Amino acid sequence: MLIDCDCTKNKDVYYINNSIKPWSLFKKGSYWIFYHENTQSFDSNYISTEENVLIQPDSPPQYENIYIHITSDFFDYYRIFRNCDDSYLELSGRKVLSASVIEGTSSVISTECRLINVFGILTINGINFKNVIQTQYTSIHNNDTTLTNYYFAKNVGLVKLEIKYLDTDSISTRSLVKWHVVQ
């Protein structure tokens, strides 16, 4: 793994690590249909636009960012971005996956998110997904703690979202039933 951790070096552009792209970089035409177990309904998600930009375009260093606008019931956008330390996948403002976690060099994504498990095969709704990474994001609001588990499969993206509300001891789960990805 090659990650430049010193932003003071004379590097002009920090590009997104290739290792995160098969897990998160999808193009227009991609869609995912999730089954919401609690409401017994379906949520469809599809990419409406994508935009690749360099942050700080007038002065080095520059950082590659890819904004992907998604039509979804539970995410408003996501982006894949690079800073001087790592490349990240961010869903609705939450860093939920990083290149260093995918590459096995770290188990921490941010102060709120960490690696929980890696599965060679994970079966969801009778579908076997290979190379699955589970991360967990912890949020605390007004003394209520919520644990959100994200399950990502290589070349598929998000395959399961599980939200645990610790104050009410309830769980909300969405799991992938159908998808088409363009990479």
CATH number of the domain residue 36 falls in: 2.40.360
More confident: 149 or 48: 149
C-alpha–C-alpha distance, residues 37 and 45, integer Å: 16
Residue 84 lies in a domain: yes
Q: pLDDT class for 137, splitting at 50, 70, 90?
A: very high
pLDDT confidence of residue 58: 64
Domain residues for 31? 13-180
Residue 110 lies in a domain: yes
Pair of tokens at residue 42: 């379906």
Evaluate whether 153 touches 24 at the Cβ level (below 8 Å): no
Number of domains, the chain:
1
pLDDT band at 1 (very low <50, low <70, confident <90, very high): very low
The mean pLDDT of 37-51, rounded to a whole number, is 89
> Residue 44 contacts by C-beta under 8 Å, 6 or more apart in sequence?
31, 32, 33, 34, 71, 72, 73
Distance separating alpha carbons of residues 27 and 169, to the nearest angstrom: 37
Identify the weakest region by mean pLDDT among 130-134, 139-143, 171-175: 139-143
Report the mean per-residue pLDDT for the chain: 88
On whether residue 1 sits in a domain, the answer given is no
The answer to whether residue 3 is domain-embedded is no
Q: Residue 3 above 60 pLDDT? A: no
Contact 98, 88 (CB under 8 A): yes
Host H or E run for residue 39: none
Residue-wise pLDDT tens digits, 19-32: 999 999 999 999 99
Mean per-residue pLDDT, 86-102:
93
Does residue 5 fall inside a structural domain?
Answer: no
Q: Using omega within 30 degrees of 0 as the cis cutoff, is the peptide bond preceding 57 cis?
A: no
The amino acid present at 176, given as its one-letter code, is: L
Over residues 82-103, the mean pLDDT reads 91
Domain annotation covers residue 137: yes
Size of the chain, expressed as the number of residues it contains:
183
What's residue 84's pLDDT?
A: 79
